[in-house]
Amino acid sequence: MTEHDPSLATVAAFKAGMARVPGAVHIVTTDGPAGRAGLTATAVCSVTTDPPTLLVCVNETSSVGQAFISNEAVAINTVGPEFTSLAMLFGGKTPMEERFAASDWAVAASGAPRHLGAAASFDTRVVGGQAVGSHRVLFCEVIDVTLGDDPTPCVYHDRAFKVLTSL
Amino acid sequence: MTEHDPSLATVAAFKAGMARVPGAVHIVTTDGPAGRAGLTATAVCSVTTDPPTLLVCVNETSSVGQAFISNEAVAINTVGPEFTSLAMLFGGKTPMEERFAASDWAVAASGAPRHLGAAASFDTRVVGGQAVGSHRVLFCEVIDVTLGDDPTPCVYHDRAFKVLTSL
C-alpha cells in the first residue's frame, strides 16, 4: 500500500460502498507458456461491441495476473449458484492443479480453459492493458462466446453469493 | 461500426453472452464547465483500493461521455429497484433537464450530482482514460462515498431489472 491521500475516500469507506454494488461471479482462466491458472473475479466489465471487448482488473503483483498477461489468452466464465464452491476455491490459496481438478473444462480456441458448466463463457485474447495503482486493467477481445445449458447466474453482494429474482 | 474482424465473435454472439451477465444499475452523473449530464450504465467496475478507483466505460462519441471527460467530475450512483423508471429515463433520449427534474440530488464535492436515494454514491475525479474501439474507459478516483438509507440494489440481467435473493 502507498500512503493514503487524504483528499481521497478511505479504503474502508470505499469497501463499504463496494459491498453495496452487486457483481456477477466469473472464474477467469488462462493457459499457455506461463502455465494454467485462474481466479474468481467480479471486476469484469463490458467495454464495447466494436470490436467485442471485455476488461478484467487484476492485481499487478499476483502470479495469476502475470499469467493472464504473459499467455495473452483469457477465458471469462460466468458461473451460476451451483458453482459457488468452485468460485471460493478459485478465490483462495488452493494450488492451481486442485482448482482445475474440481470441475470440468474444455480448451477454448485461445488455449484458455473454458468451464463446461458456465452460464456464459467468453474466450478472449488480451490485446492491451493499463496500469492503475496496484492493478492492471486488461482489455480482452472476444473471439468466441459459448452459452451454457443453464443460464442462471450468481451474484456477489454484501459479501455473500445471491441469485436474481424478477421484479 | 468498423468492418467486422472474422477472427472475433460476432456482435450478436457477444450481446447474447452479455445478456447472461448481471450488472448493477448505476446512474452516472457529472456537472461542471461542460454542463450537467448523466446516463444509466452497468459498465462500471472496481479497479483497485490503492488508490480507491472505479472505472466507467462510455461511448467516445456521446455528448454525455464528452461531458464526463471535460468536467473531470463524475458521481456513480448505484440505485435500487424503486429507481428503475429513473434508470430508464437516464438510459433514453430525454433532455438532461427533465432527467434531473425527475428525482432529488445533492451537489457532491466534485460538483457532480449525487442521487439522494442511491444505495451507494461514489463521488469521483476522472484521473485518466484509455480509448478502446468505440469507447473510452475512464479511471475515476473516489473522493467520497455516501451510503443511502436503503441498501437494496437493482441488477440488470437478460434485458430486465431484477433484485437479489439470498441463496
Q: Do A147 and B45 touch (CB under 8 A)?
A: no
The answer as to whether B167 is a domain residue is no
pLDDT at B4: 81
For residue A4, what pLDDT is reported? 81
Q: Do you find a cis peptide bond into A51, omega within 30 degrees of 0?
A: yes
In contact, B17 and A147? CB cutoff 8 Å:
yes
Q: Nearest to residue B130, comparing CAs of A34, A80, A127, A36? A: A127
Cβ of B141 within 8 Å of Cβ of A8? The answer is yes
Q: What is the pLDDT of residue A157?
A: 98
Confirm whether B4 is domain-assigned.
no
% chain A with pLDDT above 70:
99
Q: Are A80 and A152 in contact, with CB atoms under 8 Å apart?
A: yes
| A57/B50 touch (CB, cutoff 8 Å), yes or no | no
The pTM for the full model equals 0.97
How many contacts does A have with B, using Cβ atoms within 8 A?
227
Domain holding A126: CATH number? 2.30.110.10
pLDDT at residue A1 greater than cutoff 90 = no
Q: What is the pLDDT of residue A2?
A: 64
Instruction: Look at B133 and A48 and tell me if their CB atoms are within 8 Å.
Output: yes
Residue among A80, A44, A87, A88 nearest A153 (CA): A80
Which residue of chain B comes nearest to A13, CA vs CA?
Answer: B145
Is A110 within 8 Å of A142 (Cβ atoms)? no
Burial class of residue A92 in the structure, from the number of CB atoms within 10 Å of its CB (0-12 exposed, 13-18 middle, 19+ buried): exposed
Tell me if A87 is assigned to some domain.
yes
Amino acid at A92: G
How many independent structural domains does chain B possess?
1
B13 located within any domain: no
Cell representation of residue A29: 482462466
* Residue A162 confidence (pLDDT) above 60: yes
Cβ(A142)–Cβ(B14) below 8 Å = yes
- Residue A64 inside a domain? The answer is yes
- The per-residue pLDDT for A108 is 98
pLDDT in tens, A23-35: 999 999 999 999 9
Measured between alpha carbons, how far is A71 from A113 in angstroms, rounded to an integer? 12
In tens digits, what is the pLDDT along chain B, a chain of 167 residues? Answer: 567 899 999 999 999 999 999 999 999 999 999 999 999 999 999 999 999 999 999 998 999 999 999 999 999 999 999 999 999 999 999 999 999 999 999 999 999 999 999 999 999 999 999 999 999 999 999 999 999 999 999 999 999 999 999 99
**Which of A45, A124, A150, A167 would best serve as a mutation to test chain B binding (most B beta carbons within 10 A)?**
A45
Q: Cell numbers for B40, please give them.
A: 444509466
- CB-CB under 8 Å, A145 with B16: yes
Q: How far apart are CA B131 and CA B60, in angstroms?
A: 8
Domain encompassing residue B62:
26-107+119-146
C-alpha cell at B152: 437494496
Question: Is the distance from CB of A72 to CB of A126 less than 8 angstroms?
Answer: yes
Mutate to test the interface with B, among A124, A145, A146 (most CBs of B within 10 A): A145
* Residue B10 burial (CB count, 10 A): 15
The string of pLDDT tens digits covering residues A43-93 is 999 999 999 999 999 998 999 999 999 999 999 999 999 999 999 999 999
pLDDT (0 to 100) of residue A86? 98
Domain membership flag for residue A2: no
Q: pLDDT value at position A134?
A: 92
Q: Tell me the CA end-to-end span of chain A in Å, nearest whole number.
A: 41
Query: Average pLDDT for residues A147-153, to the nearest whole number?
Result: 97
Residue B94 lies in a domain: yes
Instruction: Select the residue of B9, B78, B81 nearest A145 (Cβ to Cβ).
Output: B9
Per-residue confidence band for A19, with pLDDT thresholds at 50, 70 and 90:
very high
* Domain-located, residue A15: no
